[in-house]
């Protein structure tokens, strides 16, 4: 007796995948927006409630990035052995439960600094798996001609979270207190779970090309591929420097604005939101800039031109001096958002489909691993020089990131060629 399989017509299947990509984008965007609650609440909770030093607050940021050093490479292999939606669902459920424990411990009077460290580490473990899969989804859900547009959407989601998340988080902290505010983060993870469950695409786990192989063998294949791609290596180096500086900035900026400038949590959150507004401007402009300059030049040129504006941030003062932070953050992060969209597109277009998830893991291992280093560097600079001088050092080094990427033959291309 023969069996028949009813295939979904390809145009209909493509529409379903694009619909599901929108759901993925919306769910992750809400999660990122609400996730800013812990970015603002944890440093203030540590400093104001648990009397942590600047160095100890910096360690909260560093702890959250440690799993990128330890888990990224094996996660790139093992996440490919499960259906992508399963990985995303388990990661969101785990993160929501872990973050919810902080308000519970605070309510019963048993919250300690080490528990903030542990919470950030565990949430980040789940985030490692989530992001490797999440960043590998656009080529699986969108046609190649819409890939840049898909990456722009992902960057817009991040920019929206940076633009409005700190404001929402700041006022949440101000109204509910830093002990209760992390519950907003749990709500965001719940929203991401719901959008995941609404998807209809059936994207299967990727089977190894020649049967089940060892983790080291599978990773070795991706590492050898990257080693033969100088443009991708230069891209990784530029992203690594940028991420190190971003984490150092994160470790310093809340304490800088709260202590050195003397801002209340609500005002502080609104000012931090200017970072995301700059990112939104950059993300919305990325498509036009890519068409105007070319997809290759858009990776490095806008960031190179606009990055010096970041040097205004350490000169921030109360009153009219807040406009220095606003202008610097808007311009700097607009350029950097275009840089981020270009970097993601570069890796996706220059990597074969069967290697993409493992290649993303290798790229993330280096670039996200530097976030851990940056958290330590930021805390150390703040302890030795104070938050203001430490921030000035960080923003000066950050100028190098797009120039390092442009040191490759990428600077000779107008558009990123597809891998042949």
Would 207 be classed as within a structural domain? no
Number of domains in the chain: 1
The average confidence (pLDDT) of the chain is 84
CATH number at residue 344: 1.20.1250.20
Percent of the chain predicted with pLDDT > 90: 25
| pLDDT tens digits, one per residue of 106-143 | 888 888 888 888 998 999 899 989 988 887 788 788 87
Q: CA-CA-CA-CA torsion for 92, 93, 99, 103, nearest 10 degrees?
A: 140
Phi, psi at 181, each rounded to 5°: -55, -35
Contact 172, 37 (CB under 8 A): yes
| pLDDT tens digits, one per residue of 52-74 | 777 787 778 778 878 877 888 88
Q: Residue 212: what pLDDT?
A: 54
Q: Is 6 exposed, middle or buried (0-12, 13-18, 19+ CB in 10 A)?
A: exposed
Would 418 be classed as within a structural domain? no
Would 194 be classed as within a structural domain? yes
176: pLDDT strictly greater than 60: yes
Would 420 be classed as within a structural domain? no
> What burial letters (b/e) apply to 75-84, b meaning 16+ CB within 10 Å?
bbbbbbebeb
207: pLDDT strictly greater than 70: no
Contact 105, 111 (CB under 8 A): yes
Q: Which DSSP category does 15 fall into?
A: H
Would 419 be classed as within a structural domain? no
Contact 334, 282 (CB under 8 A): yes
Would 95 be classed as within a structural domain? yes
In angstroms, the Cα distances linking 19 to 6, 141, 157, 195, 284 are 21, 9, 16, 11, 20
Would 241 be classed as within a structural domain? yes
In angstroms, the Cα distances linking 250 to 61, 200, 243 are 7, 37, 10
8: pLDDT strictly greater than 70: no
Q: Which DSSP category does 209 fall into?
A: B
7: pLDDT strictly greater than 70: no
Phi, psi at 322, each rounded to 5°: -65, -25
Q: Residue 265: what pLDDT?
A: 73
pLDDT band at 276 (very low <50, low <70, confident <90, very high): confident
Contact 147, 345 (CB under 8 A): yes
DSSP assignments along 262-296, one per residue? ---HHHHHHHHHHHHHHHHHHHHHHHHHHHHH-TT
Poorest-pLDDT segment among 18-22, 126-130, 275-279, 313-317? 275-279
Cα angle value 181/64/57 (rounded, 5°): 70
Interhelix angle for 265-293 vs 322-349, to 10°?
40
Domain that holds residue 346: 10-199+213-412
Would 208 be classed as within a structural domain? no
- Rounded-to-integer distance, Cα 388 and Cα 118, Å: 28
């Amino acid at each position: 007796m023969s069996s028949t399989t009813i295939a979904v017509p390809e145009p209909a299947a493509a529409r379903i995948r694009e619909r599901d990509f929108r759901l993925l984008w919306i769910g992750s965007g809400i999660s990122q927006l609400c996730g800013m609650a812990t970015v603002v609440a944890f440093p203030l909770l540590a400093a104001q409630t648990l009397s942590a030093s600047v160095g100890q607050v910096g360690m909260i940021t560093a702890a959250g990035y440690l799993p990128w050093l330890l888990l990224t490479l094996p996660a790139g292999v093992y996440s490919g052995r499960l259906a992508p939606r399963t990985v995303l669902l388990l990661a969101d459920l785990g993160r929501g439960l872990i973050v919810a424990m902080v308000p519970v411990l605070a309510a019963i009077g048993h919250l300690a600094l080490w528990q903030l460290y542990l919470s950030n580490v565990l949430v980040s473990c789940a985030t490692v798996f989530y992001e490797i899969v999440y960043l590998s989804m656009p080529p699986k859900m969108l046609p190649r001609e819409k890939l840049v547009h898909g990456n722009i959407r992902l960057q817009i989601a991040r920019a929206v979270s940076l633009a409005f998340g700190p404001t929402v988080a700041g006022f949440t902290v101000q109204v509910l207190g830093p002990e209760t505010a992390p519950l907003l983060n749990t709500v965001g993870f719940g929203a991401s779970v719901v959008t995941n469950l609404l998807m209809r695409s059936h994207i299967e786990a990727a089977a190894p090309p020649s049967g089940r192989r060892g983790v080291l063998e599978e990773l070795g294949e991706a590492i050898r591929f990257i080693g033969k791609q100088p443009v991708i290596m230069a891209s990784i180096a530029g992203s690594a420097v940028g991420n190190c500086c971003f984490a150092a900035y994160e470790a310093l900026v809340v304490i800088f604005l709260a202590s050195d400038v003397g801002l209340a949590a609500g005002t502080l959150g609104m000012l931090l939101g200017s970072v995301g507004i700059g990112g939104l401007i950059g993300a919305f402009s990325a498509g036009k800039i890519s068409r105007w300059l070319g997809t290759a030049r858009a990776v490095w040129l806008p960031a190179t031109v606009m990055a010096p504006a970041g040097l205004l941030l350490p000169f921030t003062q109360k009153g009219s001096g807040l406009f220095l932070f606003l202008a610097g953050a808007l311009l700097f992060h607009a350029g950097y958002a275009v840089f981020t969209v270009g970097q993601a597109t570069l890796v996706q277009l220059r990597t074969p489909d069967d290697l993409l998830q493992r290649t993303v893991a290798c790229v993330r291992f280096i670039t996200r691993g530097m976030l851990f280093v940056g958290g330590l560097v930021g805390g150390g600079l703040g302890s030795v020089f104070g938050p203001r001088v430490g921030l000035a050092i960080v923003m000066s080094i950050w100028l190098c990131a797009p120039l390092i990427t442009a040191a490759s033959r990428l600077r000779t291309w107008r558009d990123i060629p597809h891998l042949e």
